[in-house]
Amino acid sequence: MGQQPDGPDERHRRPPEVSDATVAALGRLSEALETVERARGHLYSLHQLIGHADLILGDAVEQFRDAGHQQLADRIDTELLGRNVIAGRWTFQIVEDFDDGYHALFRELDRQARDELVGGRRHLYEAEMKERRRSRGRPGHEARPGSAG
């Protein structure tokens, strides 16, 4: 079996007509999307944590009732348990609005930019950075899986 050529695979090589400025702009767009993806994860964490807290709150209401604190239990039950976290919305509605609006548009525009400018290729900026930073011929610095250099 022959040795693979050194360097990134075809899907991580910029087309010849693409400028450094275009690769840099696509890299920043990708970085922004990755940051939004992290924020989305935090939004889902908020969704799950608030849901869990509401279930625990229900237990607390019952414990207050069992301990003879009916008035406090009733207030927590009617004013806080199951309350909207933002006007008219539980967290699932916030997540859905985010996913269907801002997040969907961000992903669409990222894909459009890559499709129009570099034939859909992803992570060109990072692939070129890897080529600049890796030590050719050293273990752990291979260009791609299964390559020797």
User: pLDDT (tens digit, 9 = 90+) per residue, 36-76?
Assistant: 999 999 999 999 999 999 999 999 999 999 999 999 999 99
Contact yes or no for 89/96 (Cβ under 8 A): no
Q: Is the pLDDT of residue 8 over 90?
A: no
Contact yes or no for 89/95 (Cβ under 8 A): no
CA pair distance 98, 119, nearest whole angstrom: 28
Instruction: Tell how many helices (H) and how many strands (E) occur in the chain.
Output: 5, 0
Q: Report the SS3 class of residue 86.
A: strand
Least confident of 1-5, 26-30, 33-37, 131-135: 1-5
Using a pLDDT cut of 70, give the percent of the chain over it.
95
Q: Which amino acid, one-letter code, is at 47?
A: H
User: Which tens digits make up the pLDDT trace of 69-94?
Assistant: 999 999 999 999 999 999 999 999 99
Phi-psi region of 15 (alpha: psi -120 to 50; beta: other; left: phi over 0): beta
Structure tokens, 126: 């990072």
